[in-house]
Amino acid sequence: MAEAIFQTFEQKATPAQGAPHLKLLRAELKARGLDGFVIPRTDEHQNEYVPASSERLAWLTGFMGSWGMAVVLADTAAIFVDGRYTVQVREQVDVHTFTPEHLIDNPPEAWLEKHLKAGQKLGFDPWLHTADGTKKLEKACAAAKAELIAVDTNPVDAVWADRPAPPLGQIVLHKPAYAGEDAHTKLKRIQSKLAAQGADAVVLTDAHAVAWAFNIRGGDVGHTPLPLGFAIVPREGKAELFMDGRKFSNTVRDAVADMAEIAEPLALDRALERLGQSGSIVKFDGASASNRLVALLERSGGQAEVGIDMIALMKAVKNNAEIAGSRAAHARDGAAMTRFLAWFDREAISEKLTEIDVAIALEGFRRDTGVLKDVSFPSIAGAGPNAAIPHYKVSTESNRRVERGIFLIDSGAQYEDGTTDITRTMVVGPATPEMKDRFTRVLKGHIAIDTAVFPKGVSGAQLDSFARKPLWEVGLDFDHGTGHGIGSYLSVHEGPQRIAKTGVTPLEAGMMLSNEPGFYKAGHWGMRIENLILVEKRDIPGAEREMFGFDTLSFAPIDLNLVEPALLTVAERAWLNAYHAKTRAIVGPHLDAETMKWLEGATREI
C-alpha cells in the first residue's frame, strides 16, 4: 500500500493528556507565584503553521485546530475556539478539564473578567501575543483588579518533558528565475517606503515577509517552506537577519551575507534596544509582531508604529516570473489532478477506498511529477457527511469509506515555481436532482467570480456576493469566504487581499486569489469548486476606468455528472466548455494517452 510522505493521519494528541498536563502546569504556576496563564495556539510569528516545539496548546489540551486559546486558573480552565472548531474541540479535548467556550460569544477577556479575582496575577508569554491582543488581556485584568505579568520563559516549556527542539530547517536561496526580483531590489523598495513614510526602520516579524524580502526558503514548519526568523530593515544601511546560524550552509550564508548582517535570534533584543536608544520611529506589522518586541522598543525610548504590514502588499502583487512559474506549476499540478481524477473515477465505484487512501493516492500523483516539495496543506478529503465540514481534516479516527454519493477533495502542492490549491467535488454513482441543483448553483457562483470585470479600487469584499447570488436565490448560502490570497512557493493563505466580506484591500493586477464557493448540507454532503485566479488588466473598448478581470490559473475537469445544464445560461455553458477545452490544451501535453482519453470524455461539450 502506498504511503503519504507529507501528510499524517494519526492524532498526535489525545483528550486524556489534558488532566495530567494541566496538573503539571498548575504546579509550575504555583511555584512561580502566578494564579493563571494564557496559552494561545500561536508561535512567536503568529503563524498558521507552527513548529512542533510551539504546539503548546496541543500538548496541554489535545486540541489540534489552527486557532485556539486556553486560559488556566487555579480552580478552572477553559479553551476558546471559533465556529470552525466547536465540534472538533469536543472530540479532541477533555471537556471536564477544559470547558470549551466560543471565541466570539464568550471571548477570553470576558471570561477572565468574570473568573479572575482582585489581586490575582495572570501570566502571559509576551512572545505569543500581539500588541492588540495584550491590550485586551490588560483591560480584562484591570476590570478584575488583577495583575497581568509578562513571563520571561514559558511555564509550559518548563513542564513539557519531551518538548521537541526548535526546528533547524536548512535555508535555501529562492531561485532568481522563480523570484523574479533580486533581494537587493526588494530591500531598496522597502527602504524607499520607509523614507516616504518618515520611519527609520521596519521589523519583519512575519516569517513569510522575511522569506520574501531576502529570497530565501526553509523547512521549519510543515507545508510552507518557511525559515523562521526576524529581520530589521533600516531606512539606510544594511539589513539585519536574525536566524539560527545552524540553518545556513556556507554557500547560502555567503549569498545572504551579501545583503544582510546575519545575527543569532538573541541579538534581536540588542538591536531593538539600539533603535530605541537612538529615538527611532520603527514600523511593526500589527498582525504578527509580538507584544514583547514592540514593548522592548518602546521601553528603550523608540517610537513604535504598529499597523498594516508594509511587505504584505508588495508580496501580494506577483511579478512576471512568479506568474510564469505559477502557470507552469498549475499545468503540472493540473495533470497530477487529472490523473488522480481518472483513477478516482475508475476505483471509487468499488466502494472500497477510504478518505485516507484517496489523500495518499493524490499525494502520490503529485510526487510522480518528480518536483513536489510538499503538499501546501493537509488534504481535506471528505466522503459524504465529512464533506459537509468545510475545514475537515481526515484522521485514522474520522476516516470514512468512500461510498456512492459525494466526495470532496481540497488539496494543494508546493513546487519551487509556485504554490497550488484546488478543490474538486465528485459524485460516485448517480447524482440526485438536489445534488445537481446545488452543485450547478455553486458552479454559477464560481463562474460569476471568474468572469467578473471591475474597476481599479474595487476590493474582494465588493465581489464576494457574486459567488453567493445563485444560492441566495433559493434561500441558501455558505459560511466561509469565497477566496483567499496565495503565496509564491510560500503560504497557501496569504493576505491582505481576500474575496470575502472582510476583504477590503483593493485588488491589483498581479494578485492571486482562490475562487471557492461551496454548499454544505450538514450531516449529508458538501461541495466546493476551487480554482486559483490572477488579477489582470482588462482592455475594454470605450472603458472610462482602468478595468481588471481574472485569468484562471487552475485546470482540471469539473465533474459533469453534477452539472444540470438547464440551470446554466448560454454564457455559463460556454464558459464551462471553454474552460474544459483549455484544460485539455494546458494539461493534455503532460498526460499519457489513456488519461488523455479519459480527460476527453470528462471534458466533453455540454
Chain residues binding its own copies by CB under 8 A are: 452-455, 458-459, 461-466, 469, 472-477, 501, 540-545, 547
**Nearer residue to its own copies within complex by CB, 229 or 518:** 518
**Nearer residue to its own copies within complex by CB, 33 or 541:** 541
**Nearer residue to its own copies within complex by CB, 11 or 465:** 465
* Closest approach of its own copies to the CB of residue 472, in Å: 5
User: H or E stretch including 23?
Assistant: helix 18-31
**Nearer residue to its own copies within complex by CB, 48 or 82:** 82
Angle between helices 464-472 and 433-450 (to 10 degrees): 150
Distances (CA, A) of 596 to 139, 406, 553: 62, 24, 20
* Closest approach of its own copies to the CB of residue 437, in Å: 10
* Closest approach of its own copies to the CB of residue 526, in Å: 13
List alpha helices for 106-249, DSSP H. 108-115, 131-143, 155-159, 176-179, 183-197, 207-214
For the chain, the maximum distance between any two Cα atoms, rounded to a whole number of angstroms, is 75
**Can the peptide bond before residue 496 be classed as cis, meaning omega within 30 degrees of 0?**
yes
Q: How many other CB atoms are found less than 10 A from the CB of residue 269?
A: 14
Distances (CA, A) of 467 to 340, 459, 566: 27, 14, 19
Locate 112 and state its grid cell: 477572565
User: H or E stretch including 485?
Assistant: strand 483-485
* Closest approach of its own copies to the CB of residue 136, in Å: 17
**Nearer residue to its own copies within complex by CB, 262 or 435:** 435
Residue 173, classed as helix, strand or coil, is: strand
Q: Can you tell me the distance from the alpha carbon of 335 to that of 197, in angstroms, rounded to the nearest whole number?
A: 46
What lies within 8 Å, CB to CB, of 529 at 6+ separation is 423, 424, 425, 439, 442, 443, 446, 516, 517, 518, 558
* Closest approach of its own copies to the CB of residue 543, in Å: 2
**Nearer residue to its own copies within complex by CB, 239 or 463:** 463
* Closest approach of its own copies to the CB of residue 459, in Å: 8
Question: Could you give the strand order of the β-sheet that contains 453-455, starting from the edge strand earlier in sequence?
Answer: 453-455, 547-552, 531-538, 512-515, 483-485, 494-499
Residues of the chain by 3-state class (helix, strand, coil), percent to 5: 40, 20, 40
Residue with cell 468572469: 451
* Closest approach of its own copies to the CB of residue 503, in Å: 11
**Nearer residue to its own copies within complex by CB, 459 or 552:** 459
List alpha helices for 32-95, DSSP H. 56-61, 88-92
* Closest approach of its own copies to the CB of residue 500, in Å: 10
* Closest approach of its own copies to the CB of residue 453, in Å: 5
Q: Which of 273, 307, 277 is nearest to 293 (CA)?
A: 273
**Nearer residue to its own copies within complex by CB, 344 or 454:** 454
* Closest approach of its own copies to the CB of residue 469, in Å: 8
Residue 444, classed as helix, strand or coil, is: helix
Q: Which of 494, 381, 499, 389 is nearest to 48 (CA)?
A: 494
**Nearer residue to its own copies within complex by CB, 264 or 477:** 477
**Nearer residue to its own copies within complex by CB, 157 or 564:** 564
